[in-house]
Amino acid sequence: MGENVKLVPFEIKEVQSNVTEIPEGVSLIGAPSFWEKGYRGQGVVVAVLDTGCQIDHPDLQGRIIDGHNFTDDYNGNTLNYNDNNGHGTHVAGTIAANSNGQGVTGVAPEAQLLICKVLSGDGGGYYDWIINGVRHAINWRGPNGERVRIISMSLGGPDDVRELHDAVMEAVLNDILVVVAAGNEGDDSEDTYEIAYPSSYNEVIEIGAVDLNKELAYFSNNNTQVDCCAPGMGIKSTYLGSRYAVLDGTSMATPHVSGALALIINYAERDFRRELSEAELYAQLIKRTEDLPYLRSSVGNGIVKLDNYEKVKALVHFINANFA
């Protein structure tokens, strides 16, 4: 199938060599509140379908469990899934960069990453590459029987391809959460819709972007399938050359939610003492959102705020204990 799938457009704002921080976006969604309780994404495998990853980046050591190249890059060597663009490395870092006192820290710093290189160095790809990547993530098993719980895709195209939709539905039927960037074709108007695929499939979790002040990003796509939003402007994460970059895009919002879901899996499955279904985990995510003053077609249920649900529960408990 034709090469119509591309990276969700993004803008590089700055590249840095030395960084030691928890990025603002990671803090804004409340990830540190989960870390303090011992939930850091341990045991959760996230498949990152992107341009690959710098596998020897210091901040990602120990985080990559496996990988596969589905593109023509590197003469089609399926074992070489190194990033030759930068985008995939940035996404991977936001999800799971180590918390080791140097560099940046990802949302789920103990999650593991399955790197699926489905886009070439120029950011383009064929639908077949994406479809094969999704199916690989569904069927993949780790050395100790691990399986993928989350697929993260910051890519899209204009065509509704039946085989891609089928692959997405198969992933969801296998209780894999599929998280997809809404796209950056927004015209800074909430009155018009912008449609891309696979983000517009009802089965995926479509992610819009806000800035670090929780204001809607001017480029974020609007449509009736947006589920929630996350920080997507001024996002600092890992980059090629063992460096760090500040990027803008719904591409950057998406891995915040993928990482958040890894933390939610830790928390909710320990709480319920069983493995939860895709639908149950989606409900747990939506419980942890904060409403924003925009149309649902722009921000869905609002910005992901991992500590929001617990704050509401504590307030209800206080009211019941003191005023009931």
pLDDT digits (tens, 9 = 90+) for 11-51: 778 888 888 899 999 999 999 999 999 999 999 999 999 99
Q: What is the pLDDT of residue 316?
A: 45
> What CATH number should be reported for the domain holding residue 166?
3.40.50.200
Residue 187 belongs to domain spanning: 5-323
* Catalytically annotated residues: 50, 87, 251
Give the integer Cα–Cα distance in Å for 197 and 253: 17
Domains of the chain: total: 1
Task: Give me the phi and psi of 319, to 5 degrees please.
Answer: -65, -45
For 10, 102, 108, 299, the CA distances from 209, given in Å and listed in that order, are: 12, 27, 19, 8
**pLDDT tens digits for range 52-73:** 999 999 999 999 999 999 999 9
β-pairing, 112-117 vs 45-50, is parallel
**Residues 130-141: b if buried by 16+ CB within 10 A, e if exposed:** bbbbbebbbebe
Global pTM reads 0.95
The crossing angle, in degrees rounded to 10, of helices 250-272 and 278-287 is 110
Q: What is the mean pLDDT of residues 148-154?
A: 98
Give the integer Cα–Cα distance in Å for 69 and 291: 39
For 21, 108, 199, 256, the CA distances from 103, given in Å and listed in that order, are: 6, 15, 31, 17
CB within 8 Å of 139: residues ≥ 6 apart: none
Q: What is the pLDDT of residue 266?
A: 98
Task: Give me the phi and psi of 127, to 5 degrees please.
Answer: -55, -35
